[in-house]
């Protein structure tokens, strides 16, 4: 089984977001593997361990993403590929990323591609389905369970809380939802081994792509922080009086009831 | 500049979801005086066309096929692409729902188009439709435009105002035939877990429980309050991890992002991971024993107290209101 995992390096979920010069300030921030992509890495490793094969983790980004790819290798992935577009692409979008990934994957022998269902920074959730479309393979998003028997695949998908069981075939792309598995922490031997595992670095040139081929179709014109919320009203007094006051406030002041 | 926008009406259990009407509202803004065309896809959905028109669509195009009885990305994208080909619109707006999130990127990929996902507001400025959307789980926002081709966006439910329903409006509802072939994913079974209550993503009021509910039974008072208010029940990751409730209820960075009019957080400490899923709610009420809990920093109103004492009292108060109303 040839499994590819699409991985994005993102801000740590606990980071406070600040702006500098109209952009998100990355100075000193901690970066992690996008949490949904961690489920993807874990699932890929489990499938390989059960059915044999190889797990390749692929990231589109800049050289900084090497750290997250090494972490995935330390978890147990076999190979990593970093497609560094930093020098060629100033402002990419989901079209850019999916085009680059599809171009890399199109001549590979792919059985299964696993991605996170959304990245917690940009939050668009587009790249998985776009890549599947460009490769002309089926996909299932927000999966919580995956069973492969030969080329037949049974997938459970989270649909706003309901769950759908879907039957499909390989080659296939799936995107991971929380609940799919419990991602492992890299072990110390894993971290040692990861240092020697292959990590290939590519640029657009290596994929026969020009900047124009991957030019973004959308543009961010402004980034801003939400207005800081005024301190709320913590009520006081007897609990039942507080409850009465709260209901009044919700009716007359907040006007939501 | 006036332009033509398509809006996909999303059907669930035989009715249109609210987000369809919100999408028409968004398309009206984006079309800037132009035409808004509703699109319905399913096996028997034509009768719903009139409702799209009453909410502001000028006319409706329907694609019906037995293979479209259930949503599949292959079937629905073929139908939608057929409508796009026939209508040649300037823009397309879909709800940022499970269906929209699954379908829109495929269609955008096929058309090599830009797509702006999870939009919470929009305006027309300088000849562009400018879309605002949250990034970093709502800790920041960005304004985005499409730089060429189809103006394609998905909108987050509960954020964009629909137009008032006008039953006197009329318009054409016409059928377009599309060749639906090669469905590569087949739905074998659907287990309804969320259908017991109100849908979280579209709920106007949400009652949410955290570790403070202490057990699965601890959710009972929250459910009673939800019933009185016609609200949905949600939970923090802590409550889900502790097995007090199903993960389908989880609100947060992992889990659902919600923006109801009223969010009542019961026994929730307010970890950043949870705030990411609910901090954009219009009004937030916090009920927590710990006066230092972080949830009070984002709450509009707070009661420091035991949720098992406060929540039943709240239920009683709201019941009284209902009787008097």
Q: So what's the ipTM on this one?
A: 0.94
Closest CA to A34 of A57, A16, A56: A57
* Gap between the Cα atoms of A103 and A214, Å rounded: 10
**Residues for chain A: how many in total?**
257
A23 touches chain B (CB under 8 A): no
Sign of CA dihedral B220, A160, B157, A228: positive
| Cβ separation B98–A166 shorter than 8 A | no
* Closest Cα in chain B, distance from residue A98 (Å): 8
DSSP A121-189: TT----HHHHHHHHHT--EEEEEEEEEEETTEEEEEEEETTEEEEEEEESSEEEEE-TTS--PPPPPHH
Find the CB nearest A217 among B146, B188, B309: B146
* Closest Cα in chain B, distance from residue A232 (Å): 4
| Cβ separation B136–A242 shorter than 8 A | no
Find chain A residues with C-beta within 8 A of B205's C-beta.
256
Tell me how many residue pairs between chain A and chain B have CB atoms under 8 A apart: 258
Residue pLDDT, tens place only, A115-165: 999 999 999 999 999 999 999 999 999 999 999 999 899 999 988 878 899
B145 touches chain A (CB under 8 A): yes
Residue pLDDT, tens place only, A86-124: 999 989 999 999 999 999 999 999 999 999 999 999 999
pLDDT of residue A16: 84
Q: Give pTM, 2 decimals.
A: 0.92
Ligand-binding site membership of B251 (annotated):
yes
Find chain A residues with C-beta within 8 A of B304's C-beta.
234
A8 touches chain B (CB under 8 A): no
**Strand locations in chain B (E):** 5-9, 11-12, 15-16, 36-42, 59-64, 91-95, 116-119, 121-125, 128-135, 140-146, 151-155, 173-175, 186-191, 205-209, 232-235, 262-266, 283-288, 301-304
| Cβ separation B298–A226 shorter than 8 A | no
- Averaged over A72-81, what is the pLDDT? 98
| Cβ separation B285–A159 shorter than 8 A | no
Residue pLDDT, tens place only, B88-145: 999 999 999 999 999 999 999 999 999 999 999 999 998 899 999 999 988 899 999 9
The shares of helix, strand and coil residues in chain B, as percent rounded to the nearest 5, are 35, 30, 35
Indicate the pairing of strand B151-155 with strand B116-119: parallel
Residue pLDDT, tens place only, B26-36: 999 999 999 99
Find chain B residues with C-beta within 8 A of A217's C-beta.
112-115, 146-149
Residue pLDDT, tens place only, A225-239: 988 877 789 999 999
Q: What domains, with CATH codes, occur in chain B?
A: 5-175 (3.40.50.620), 200-324 (3.40.50.1220)
Work out the pLDDT band at B246, boundaries 50, 70, 90: confident
- Averaged over B143-164, what is the pLDDT? 96
| Cβ separation B262–A166 shorter than 8 A | no
A151 touches chain B (CB under 8 A): no
* Gap between the Cα atoms of B182 and B185, Å rounded: 9
pLDDT of residue B197: 66
**Tokens of residue B18, six digits:** 């609210």
Residue pLDDT, tens place only, B216-240: 999 999 999 999 999 999 999 999 9
Q: What domains, with CATH codes, occur in chain A?
A: 2-214 (3.40.50.620), 227-257 (no CATH)
**Strand locations in chain A (E):** 2-6, 9-11, 19-20, 23-24, 31-33, 54-61, 79-84, 112-116, 139-149, 152-159, 162-169, 172-176, 199-202, 218-224, 233-234
């Amino acid at each position: 089984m040839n499994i590819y995992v699409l991985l994005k390096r993102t801000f740590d979920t606990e980071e406070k977001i600040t702006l500098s010069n109209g952009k998100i300030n990355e100075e000193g921030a901690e970066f992690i593997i996008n949490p949904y992509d961690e489920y993807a890495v874990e699932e890929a490793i489990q499938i390989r361990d059960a059915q044999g094969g190889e797990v390749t983790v692929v990231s589109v980004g800049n050289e900084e993403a090497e750290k997250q790819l090494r972490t995935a290798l330390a978890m147990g992935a076999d190979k990593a590929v970093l497609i560094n577009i930093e020098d060629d692409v100033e402002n990419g979008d989901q079209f850019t990323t999916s085009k680059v990934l599809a171009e890399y994957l199109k001549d590979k022998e792919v059985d299964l591609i696993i991605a996170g269902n959304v990245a917690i920074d940009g939050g668009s959730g587009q790249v998985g389905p776009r890549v599947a479309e460009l490769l002309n393979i089926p996909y299932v998003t927000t999966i919580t369970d995956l069973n492969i028997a030969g080329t037949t695949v049974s997938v459970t998908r989270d649909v706003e809380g309901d769950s759908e069981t879907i039957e499909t075939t390989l080659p296939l792309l799936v995107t991971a939802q929380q609940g799919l598995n419990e991602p492992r922490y890299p072990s110390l031997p894993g971290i040692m081994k990861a240092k020697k595992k292959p990590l290939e670095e590519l640029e657009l040139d290596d994929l026969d792509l020009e900047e124009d081929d991957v030019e973004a179709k959308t543009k961010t014109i402004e980034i801003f922080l939400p207005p800081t919320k005024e301190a709320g009203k913590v009520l006081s007094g007897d609990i039942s009086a507080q409850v009465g006051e709260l209901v009044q406030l919700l009716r007359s002041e907040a006007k939501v009831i | 500049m006036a332009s033509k926008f398509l809006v996909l009406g999303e059907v669930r259990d035989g009715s249109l979801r609210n987000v369809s009407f919100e999408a028409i509202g968004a398309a009206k803004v984006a079309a800037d005086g132009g035409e808004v065309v509703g699109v319905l896809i399913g096996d028997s959905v034509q009768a719903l066309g009139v409702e799209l028109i009453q909410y502001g669509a000028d006319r409706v195009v329907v694609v019906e096929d037995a293979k479209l009885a259930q949503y599949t990305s292959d079937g629905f994208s073929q139908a939608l692409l057929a409508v796009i080909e026939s209508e040649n619109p300037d823009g397309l707006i879909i709800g940022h729902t499970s269906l929209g999130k699954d379908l829109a990127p495929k269609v955008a990929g096929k058309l090599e188009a830009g797509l702006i996902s999870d939009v919470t507001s929009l305006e027309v400025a300088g000849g562009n439709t400018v879309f605002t959307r949250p990034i970093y789980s709502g800790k920041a926002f960005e304004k985005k435009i499409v730089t060429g081709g189809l103006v394609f966006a998905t909108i987050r439910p509960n954020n964009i105002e629909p137009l008032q329903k006008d039953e006197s409006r009329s318009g054409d509802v016409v059928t377009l035939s599309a060749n639906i072939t090669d469905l590569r994913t087949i739905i074998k079974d659907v287990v309804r877990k969320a259908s017991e209550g109100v849908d979280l993503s579209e709920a106007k009021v949400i009652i949410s429980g955290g570790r403070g509910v202490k057990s699965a039974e601890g959710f009972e008072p929250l459910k009673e309050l939800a019933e009185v208010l016609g609200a949905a029940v949600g939970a923090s990751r802590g409550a889900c991890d502790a097995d007090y409730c199903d993960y389908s209820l989880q609100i947060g960075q992992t889990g659902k992002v919600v923006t109801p009019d009223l969010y009542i957080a019961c026994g929730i400490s307010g970890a950043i991971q949870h705030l990411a899923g609910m901090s954009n709610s219009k009004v937030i009420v916090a009920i927590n024993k710990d006066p230092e809990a972080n949830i009070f920093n984002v709450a509009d109103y707070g009661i420091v107290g035991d949720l098992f004492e406060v929540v039943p009292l709240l239920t009683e108060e709201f019941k009284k209101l209902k009787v008097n109303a």
